[in-house]
Amino acid sequence: MKRDSLSTRSEQPQGPLTDLERSEFHLREGERLAHMGSWSLRADGIFDYWSPETFVIFDFDPSQGIPTLTQWLAVLHADDGDLLAKTIERMFREGVRGDVRYWVDHPKKGKRMMHSTGEPVLENGKVTRLIGNTLDITEQENALEEIRRLKDELYKENIVLREEINSTSMFEEVLGTSAVLQRVLALAAKVAPTDSTVLIMGETGTGKELIARAIHKRSKRAERSVVSVNCAAIPSSLIMSELFGHEKGAFTGAVQRRLGRFELAEGGTLFLDEVGDLPLETQIALLRVLQEREFERVGGTEMLRCDVRVIAATNRDLHSAIAAGSFRSDLFYRLNVFPITLPPLRERKEDIALLVNYFVDRYAKRAGKKIKSIQKKSLEALQEYSWPGNVRELQNVIERSLIIGETNEFSIDKSWFSSESQPARSPAADQTSSERTRIEAALAQTKGKVSGQQGAAAILGIPASTLESKIRTLRINKHAYKGT
């Protein structure tokens, strides 16, 4: 058998071998098994050595001889060809070691990733050649990418699972049969099957997140995640990273790449709670996502596309925030595609008895107690109270009673009410004031228009005739809002 120095077969040459021949055979076999080739490049740009595996890696025919530097660079990916040429030039010029990764357009195997390492050889203080090796790392890179993908998926699932666990205990707050609550639920049911952006407004504790989750559950995205972000609870310096993610080294403490909430919610729904508290810089970035459906991670350059439905919520008066310059009007109109205003608990007092019975049963079971009756005067006190903390405050008062109480009758102490020290206001006065505020806000938004799809009545979810009647009763001048 003819001994061919370019053979890549694993057969050992027949007959006795010299030490040199044996070493060459072992070297060839080691390179073949590792998919690594070695080479030597002279200062004049001529390769004077390519090992057999180097020909295989780059798919050159050994019978045609070693390719020129130009021929070799031609099989590299366009951008990487320039990178390699500059790296080689620098190694000869400065006598430094080279270490680079690049893509090759392999005619048989497709796109392959290579890792080349080279060392300069000096003679009389001058670099005369580069000696190095090239390793095909495509499989390793694919494996690492798969590990990164699985890690990202696990991270997404863990985040979403934690949020689902934290939120399940809140779903019962959407209990109630009052007409005002049923109107809200009807609006939620109408917008749910669409992909429209929803802006939910209401006081703290009215259940804005619960309505958002109810909309998601009735949407086409129900099988995907609903991810929540409390914009008021995250420091302004971190909110961009929280929403859009960051790359490794983007800032001090960014020791690895991190996915943002938009990526976690891909294909699902992103709930932005307290959106009125976003810093102006973040508002600009959010506006871009809503307009273009794309974003960049903090410290990154890659533009990422996203398919996410946004539902936002706030307990702030965004019109006042716009006037004060703390909230962008263009972002408001992007968010306010379908507004829903949640009524405070004092405007649906007929629901209190139902809520009390439910929460008493729930917390009694948790505390291992059996409540046989609810004290009448306690229920009346709960119905008369104005509930500035809304359903959340009611829930807390009931839980406190069941912790302290030692009998099988549910009762409460009025001193637990947070606003007892405040000047007393009648429930009717509270309701009138809140209703006036909501109607005036709607009229300001529609520039005094009452009826029609873009009118204040549609925003409030009531018939136009009913709104006209309320405007007259409350003596609101709707004409004052025209042209505002």
The answer to the question of residue 251 being in a domain is yes
**Residue 89 clears pLDDT 60, i.e. is over it:** yes
The answer to the question of residue 12 being in a domain is no
Q: Is the same domain home to 99 and 154?
A: no
**Residue 19 clears pLDDT 80, i.e. is over it:** no
For range 277-293, the mean pLDDT? 91
For range 433-444, the mean pLDDT? 77
Tokens standing for 230?
Answer: 């409390």
Q: Is the same domain home to 270 and 232?
A: yes
Per-residue confidence (pLDDT) for residue 20, from 0 to 100: 58
**Residue 15 clears pLDDT 60, i.e. is over it:** no
For range 17-41, the mean pLDDT? 68
pLDDT tens-digit map of 149-172: 666 665 555 555 544 444 443 334
Q: Is the same domain home to 274 and 322?
A: yes
**Residue 3 clears pLDDT 50, i.e. is over it:** no
Least confident span in 251-255, 280-284, 336-340, 400-404: 251-255
The answer to the question of residue 335 being in a domain is yes
Least confident span in 71-85, 183-197, 275-289: 71-85
**Residue 77 clears pLDDT 80, i.e. is over it:** no
Band the pLDDT of 30: cuts 50, 70, 90: low
Contact 439, 467 (CB under 8 A): yes
Per DSSP (E only), the strands in 43-175 are 47-50, 98-106, 110-123, 126-136
**Residue 56 clears pLDDT 90, i.e. is over it:** no
**Residue 181 clears pLDDT 70, i.e. is over it:** yes
The answer to the question of residue 78 being in a domain is yes
Q: Is the same domain home to 350 and 365?
A: yes
Share of the chain above pLDDT 90, in %: 17
The answer to the question of residue 254 being in a domain is yes
Band the pLDDT of 339: cuts 50, 70, 90: very high
**Residue 335 clears pLDDT 90, i.e. is over it:** yes
3-state helix, strand, coil in the chain (%, to 5): 50, 15, 35
Q: Is the same domain home to 159 and 218?
A: yes
Q: Is the same domain home to 313 and 355?
A: no
The answer to the question of residue 18 being in a domain is no
**Residue 2 clears pLDDT 50, i.e. is over it:** no
DSSP three-state, residue 113: strand
**Residue 194 clears pLDDT 90, i.e. is over it:** yes
Least confident span in 10-24, 116-130, 363-377: 10-24
**Residue 303 clears pLDDT 70, i.e. is over it:** yes
CATH number at residue 91: 3.30.450.20
Give 104-109 contacts, CB < 8 A, sequence gap 24+.
104/57, 104/58, 104/75, 104/76, 104/77, 105/75, 105/76, 105/77, 106/58, 106/59, 106/75, 107/59, 108/59, 109/59, 109/138
For range 315-337, the mean pLDDT? 90
Q: Is the same domain home to 251 and 331?
A: yes
The answer to the question of residue 5 being in a domain is no
Per-residue confidence (pLDDT) for residue 196, from 0 to 100: 94
Least confident span in 212-216, 371-375, 433-437, 456-460: 433-437
Q: Is the same domain home to 329 and 460?
A: no
Per-residue confidence (pLDDT) for residue 183, from 0 to 100: 87
**Residue 273 clears pLDDT 90, i.e. is over it:** yes
Identify the domain containing residue 471 by its residue range: 427-481
Nearest-CA neighbor of 176 among 417, 341, 313, 356?
356
Q: Which residue has the tokens 């050649």?
A: 129
Domain boundary among 136, 158, 175: 136
Which one has a higher pLDDT value, 169 or 264? 264
Domain boundary among 416, 440, 469: 416
Q: Is the same domain home to 321 and 277?
A: yes
Which one has a higher pLDDT value, 128 or 23? 128
Band the pLDDT of 321: cuts 50, 70, 90: confident
Per-residue confidence (pLDDT) for residue 424, from 0 to 100: 42
Q: Which residue has the tokens 């891909």?
A: 266
> Looking at the 3D structure of the chain, how many domains does it have?
4
Per-residue confidence (pLDDT) for residue 235, from 0 to 100: 85
Domain boundary among 341, 369, 395: 341
Q: Is the same domain home to 303 and 174?
A: yes
For range 344-372, the mean pLDDT? 88
DSSP three-state, residue 25: helix
Q: Is the same domain home to 331 and 406?
A: no
Look at the alpha carbons of 211, 214, 219, 223 in this order and tell me if their dihedral is positive or negative. positive
Share of the chain above pLDDT 70, in %: 82
Which one has a higher pLDDT value, 216 or 23? 216
The answer to the question of residue 177 being in a domain is yes
Tokens standing for 322?
Answer: 């716009």
Integer Cα distance of 330 and 286 in angstroms: 11
Q: What is the pTM of this model?
A: 0.54
Which one has a higher pLDDT value, 254 or 320? 320
Give 410-415 contacts, CB < 8 A, sequence gap 24+.
410/356, 410/360, 410/371, 410/373, 410/374, 410/375, 410/378, 411/375, 411/378, 412/375, 412/378, 412/381, 412/382, 414/381
Computed over every residue of the chain, the mean pLDDT equals: 81
CATH number at residue 371: 1.10.8.60
Q: Is the same domain home to 381 and 337?
A: no
